[in-house]
Structure 1
């Protein structure tokens, strides 16, 4: 994981507006690429502690991140599985800061992730899906490691 190269899709998803509870159900969720080898990792960031990244070995890329979640290891040490970033199609997990936003939701057997470059954005250059079972297993592994 030496170089921190980020995954981007060939084309961005563009939403009409940032009313995500209305816009997300209009998406073709079958078009989201499936990441079979999804992993979660923490990487040391100096005085900011560890930062959390989603990673794919086959792509050799970071596929999404939480760049403003400083000292993530401290929060993770007191989290339980109900605290992980996960929402629903109508109420997605939504986090944003300067020049970054991430939406995460589950529907049926998959977890969908979209990351954009601005808060309240309507254009997402990173978008993919993960089997829900794999997403939860990776979080369980991380929670166990830091508890």
Structure 2
């Protein structure tokens, strides 16, 4: 379990952002919340849900370039917060 997420993310590069493929999904869970992330072509898909593994209440997709751009902003904010 990560104690200080901001400190961890401040050390990330774009290579560290959560991503996966349809063959190898990125999957995570915490206290009954689950998320799947995968990229297909130039779109990133995200599904999230509560409680039962494999049941996802919400999903959406966005352009992969936008996904990376927004993560880059988060990494920059986390990095500058410690200065």
- Same fold, TM exceeding 0.5? yes
Query: Within 1, Cα distance between the matches of 2:36 and 2:64?
Result: 15
Q: Comparing both structures, which one devotes a greater share of its residues to helix?
A: 2
> Mind listing any 5+ residue stretches in structure 2 that lack a counterpart?
none
Asked if structure 2 preserves the Cα contact closer than 8 Å seen for 1:97 and 1:118, the reply is no
Asked if structure 2 preserves the Cα contact closer than 8 Å seen for 1:96 and 1:118, the reply is no
Residue deviations 1:94-127, cap 9 Å, x none?
10122111000101110000001136x1211110
Structure 1 or 2, whichever has the larger Rg, is 1
Query: Within 1, Cα distance between the matches of 2:32 and 2:77?
Result: 30
Deviation at 1:74, TM superposition (A): 1.1
| Matching of residue 98 in structure 1 with residue 60 in structure 2 | no
Query: Within 1, Cα distance between the matches of 2:16 and 2:27?
Result: 13
Q: Residues 1-147 of structure 1 correspond to what in structure 2 (within 5 A)?
A: 71-118=4-51, 121-147=53-79
State the SS of the aligned residue for 2:70: helix
Alpha carbons of 1:97 and 1:145: their partners in 2 closer, same or farther (altered >3 Å)? closer
- Number of residue pairs matched by the alignment: 79
Deviation at 1:71, TM superposition (A): 2.9
TM-score by length of 1: 0.49
> Mind listing any 5+ residue stretches in structure 1 that lack a counterpart?
1-67
Deviation at 1:69, TM superposition (A): 6.3
TM-score by length of 2: 0.83
Residue deviations 1:65-86, cap 9 Å, x none?
xxx8653211111111111111
